[in-house]
């Protein structure tokens, strides 16, 4: 990798950020496409978000990915937001277009493509989404576009769950109800259980958003977390013999779409996967 005065800078902002595979993915993609660019991570506290976004313009940073907890709050600091990002209410990709900061969301496509790649049928199914933030909205949109019948939003904050439930009903036309995590114990079965929270993410790997007695009700469990490879939630699913999937493919897919927004081209997925295999991130 060459670094000089003409090197374009890209990166990711979030907190915490040490778990992210995005620098490895995008630096490999830049190198394989022979682009003089570098991708770095920025640990940004919530109170510093505005300054960080202003810094993108001031420093001439070409593009930024946005992860928790900034996906929703970042919108108010951008000059343009895509229709899809507006619908979701969250941005995970920013492009600096000659000083104009453009916000996009590639999570929906990344999530939906991962379901298709693994042959997960969603149409007519009932889904439970754990969480009520930007990632949960993206999951809700992806499931809705795939024809899910009903969505249950579970969150520790009943108010946040209700806000997302109302959003889903009003904007996506899907039957939706809001519950607390404790309410999930009353369900008899769950077709699709999706964790859209950061609970269980490295380094807090000994946590799960719900207990095993909830997981056992599910027919399929999807955790959008990819580090660790197997969260405690997915360990519960595996123990119960339930088909499950982590967020790795979603990460690769959404990263590829972000890369195309910035550069105009897709990266070579095979090259990226081979590099991650060498680093032991892919088995």
Residue 249 CB neighbour total at 10 angstroms: 18
Is residue 116 annotated as part of the catalytic site, yes or no? Answer: no
Q: Is 41 annotated as a binding residue?
A: no
135 marked as part of a ligand binding site: yes
> Has 107 been labeled as part of a binding site?
yes
27 is in an annotated binding site: no
Q: Is 11 annotated as a binding residue?
A: no
Residue 92 annotated in ligand binding:
yes
* 224 marked as binding residue: yes
79 is in an annotated binding site: no
- Active-site residue, from 62, 71, 125, 217: 71
Q: Which residue has the tokens 């343009």?
A: 80
In the numeric block, which tokens belong to residue 185? 């114990």
25 is in an annotated binding site: no
Is position 21 annotated in a ligand binding site?
A: yes
Does 200 belong to an annotated binding site?
no
Residue 157, annotated ligand binder?
no
67 is in an annotated binding site: yes
**Is 204 known as a binding-site position?**
no
SS3 of the chain: the string is CCCCCCCEEEEEEECCCCCCCHHHHHHHHHHHCCCCEEEEEEECCHHHHHHHHHHHHHHCCCEEEECCCCCCHHHHHCCEECHHHHHHCCCCEEEEECCEEEEECCHHHHHHHHHHHCCCCCCCCEEEEECCCHHHHHHHHHHHHCCCCEEEEECCCHHHHHHHHHHHHHHHCCEEEEECCHHHHHCCCEEEEEECCCCCCCCCCCCCCCCHHHHCCEEEEEECCCCCCCCHHHHHHHHCCCEEECCHHHHHHHHHHHHHHHHCCCCCHHHHHHHHHHCCCCC
CB neighbourhood size of 9 (10 A): 17
Residues at the binding site for NADP(+) are 83, 131-135, 224, 247
Residues at the binding site are 20-22, 67, 83, 92, 107, 131-135, 224, 226, 247, 254
Q: Residues with catalytic annotation? A: 71
Residues at the binding site for shikimate are 20-22, 67, 92, 107, 226, 254
């Amino acid at each position: 990798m060459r670094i000089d005065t003409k090197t374009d800078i890209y990166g990711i902002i979030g907190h915490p950020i040490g778990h992210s595979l995005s620098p490895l993915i995008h630096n490999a993609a830049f190198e394989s496409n022979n682009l003089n660019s570098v991708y770095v991570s920025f640990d940004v506290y919530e109170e510093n978000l505005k300054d960080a976004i202003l810094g993108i313009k001031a420093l001439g940073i070409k593009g930024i990915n946005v992860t928790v907890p900034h996906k929703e709050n970042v919108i108010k600091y951008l000059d343009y937001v895509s229709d899809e990002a507006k619908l979701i209410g969250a941005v995970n990709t920013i492009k600096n277009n000659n000083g104009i900061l453009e916000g996009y969301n590639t999570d929906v496509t990344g999530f939906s493509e991962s379901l298709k790649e693994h042959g997960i049928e969603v149409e007519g199914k009932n889904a439970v989404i754990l969480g009520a933030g930007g990632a949960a909205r993206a999951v809700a949109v992806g499931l809705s576009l795939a024809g899910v019948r009903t969505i249950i939003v579970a969150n520790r904050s009943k108010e946040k769950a209700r806000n997302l439930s109302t959003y889903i009903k009003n904007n996506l036309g899907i039957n939706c109800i809001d519950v607390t995590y404790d309410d999930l114990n009353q369900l008899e079965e769950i077709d699709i259980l999706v964790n859209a929270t950061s609970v269980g993410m490295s380094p807090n790997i000994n946590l799960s958003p719900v207990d095993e007695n909830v997981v056992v009700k599910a027919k399929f469990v999807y955790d959008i977390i990819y580090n660790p490879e197997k969260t405690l939630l997915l360990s519960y699913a595996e123990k119960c013999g339930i088909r499950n999937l982590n967020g790795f493919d979603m990460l690769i897919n959404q990263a590829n779409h972000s890369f195309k927004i910035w550069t105009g081209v897709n990266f070579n997925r095979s090259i990226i996967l081979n590099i991650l295999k060498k680093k032991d991130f892919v088995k």
